[in-house]
């Protein structure tokens, strides 16, 4: 009975908490950016401006749900949902602490990669169905960027899998008890982080929505709740990538003294702040250079990392 109940409550609780956290992450980002940029940020609604998120949500929910007459209506409506569904599903495999997770599969990692791959449809379809040329250009950039960066995101994790001998998240974390994978898999970490930023479409990889060039890229025509889904989806993505960096390379919930959940949250929070700091400090490279970086540097690096890891494992006689 308890098992059954918790299998309902746990996913629900995680879902709610994730949505709430990602919404407040918007506040956190705005405040942190403001701090680094010598200004105030949202500080009027509620204590420290915390209620700003609620105000924004009310605004978003009460806006006219407008679909442009030149858009492909069905696809236009579905696309933002794709991003939410795939990212939230990907969270199913994240293990926040022993016992706090939605599912534990023997193919955790593959499930994550497949969800990320499905996520690529969202900007493509959104940009295509909008019937706007800026959106279309954004969609094109998003497709090229996501397809190419997914390739070596997967490859960068294979070193971790090889060292663990399993695709299961719990196994991966447990395997890091002696040594976090950020040391033996340092190049894997670098590639994963860069691919992760590319998947979240954040600076310096925000080309699909580059404001100065493409207005808002693939979601130019979106407003109200549908825009909100893209917006929150981006922050969910940030949490997802941060928590996976923690899980795969920084020992997950492992850590002394504090309870496991606290360790997990602290580590993830640090990476989230890292994402925001990146946004505050870097410019945006040109689209073709980004592709060149991906195929000419990141992919060979990921393969090399896998080959070296494999040979070391073979040589040390596992």
Residues that bind other proteins (CB under 8 A): 33, 36-39, 133-134, 137, 140, 203-204, 206, 210-215, 279-289
Query: Is 159 or 294 the residue whose CB approaches other proteins more closely?
Result: 294
Give strand pairing partners of 97.
Answer: 100
The answer to whether 176 touches 246, Cβ cutoff 8 Å, is no
The residues facing 100 across adjacent strands are 97
Instruction: State the nearest-atom distance from the C-beta of 124 to other proteins, in Å.
Output: 16
Distance CA 17, CA 40 (A): 27
- Taking the least distance from each CB to other proteins, the nearer of 65 and 211 is 211
Nearer to other proteins, 106 or 281 (CB): 281
Choose between 194 and 214: whose C-beta lies nearer to other proteins: 214
Q: In terms of CB distance, is 267 or 279 closer to other proteins? A: 279
Shortest separation between residue 194's beta carbon and other proteins, angstroms? 13
For other proteins, the closer of residues 46 and 285 by Cβ is 285
Least separation in angstroms between residue 134's CB and other proteins is 7
CB of 310 to other proteins, least distance (A): 32
Q: Give min distance, CB of 217 to other proteins, in A.
A: 12
Q: State how far the Cα of 106 lies from the Cα of 118, in Å rounded to an integer.
A: 20
Alpha helix ranges (H) inside 37-107: 52-62, 73-90
CA distance 69 to 59: 23
Q: Give least dist CB 277 to other proteins, A.
A: 10
Which lies closer to other proteins via its Cβ, residue 161 or residue 298?
Answer: 298
Main-chain dihedrals φ then ψ at residue 69, nearest 5 degrees = -65, -25
Nearer to other proteins, 217 or 228 (CB): 217
Rg of the chain over all Cα atoms, to the nearest angstrom: 20
Question: Who's near 249: CB < 8 A, 6+ residues apart?
Answer: 160, 180, 181, 182, 185, 188, 189, 192
Residue 315 corresponds to which tokens in the numbers above? 């040589």
Environment class of residue 167 by beta-carbon count within 10 Å: exposed (0-12), middle (13-18) or buried (19+)?
A: buried
Q: Tell which phi-psi region holds residue 201, choosing left (phi > 0), alpha (psi between -120 and 50) or beta.
A: left
**Smallest separation (angstroms) from other proteins to the CB of 209:** 11
Partner residues linked to 5 by β-bridges: none
CA gap 90, 109 in Å, rounded: 9
Q: What minimum distance in Å lies between the beta carbon of 280 and other proteins?
A: 5
Residue whose C-alpha is closest to residue 120's, from 141, 93, 97: 141
């Amino acid at each position: 009975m308890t098992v059954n109940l918790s299998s309902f409550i746990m996913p629900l609780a995680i879902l709610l908490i994730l949505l709430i956290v990602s919404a407040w992450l918007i506040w956190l980002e705005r405040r942190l950016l403001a701090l680094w940029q010598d200004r105030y940020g949202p500080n009027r609604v509620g204590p420290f401006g915390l209620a700003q998120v609620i105000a924004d949500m009310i605004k978003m929910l009460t806006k006219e749900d407008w679909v442009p007459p030149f858009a492909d209506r069905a696809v236009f409506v579905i696309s933002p949902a794709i991003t939410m569904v795939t990212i939230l599903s990907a969270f199913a495999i994240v293990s926040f602490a022993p016992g706090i997770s939605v599912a534990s599969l023997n193919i955790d990692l593959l499930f994550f990669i497949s969800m990320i791959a499905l996520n690529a449809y969202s900007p493509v379809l959104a940009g295509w169905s909008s019937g706007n040329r800026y959106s279309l250009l954004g969609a094109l950039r998003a497709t090229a960027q996501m397809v190419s960066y997914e390739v070596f995101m997967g490859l960068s994790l294979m070193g971790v899998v090889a060292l663990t001998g399993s695709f299961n998240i719990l196994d991966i974390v447990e395997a890091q008890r002696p040594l976090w994978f950020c040391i033996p898999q340092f190049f894997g970490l670098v590639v994963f982080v860069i691919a992760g930023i590319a998947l979240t479409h954040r600076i310096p990889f925000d080309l699909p929505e580059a404001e100065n060039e493409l207005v808002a890229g693939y979601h130019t025509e979106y407003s109200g709740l549908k825009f909100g889904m893209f917006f929150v989806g981006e922050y969910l993505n940030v949490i997802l990538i941060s928590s996976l960096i923690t899980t795969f390379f920084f020992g997950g919930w492992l850590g002394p003294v504090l309870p496991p959940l606290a360790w997990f949250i602290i580590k993830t929070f640090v990476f989230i702040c890292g994402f925001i700091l990146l946004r505050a400090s870097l410019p945006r490279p040109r689209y073709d250079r980004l592709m060149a970086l991906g195929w000419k540097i990141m992919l060979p690096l990921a393969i090399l990392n896998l080959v070296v890891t494999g040979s070391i494992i073979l040589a040390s006689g596992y």
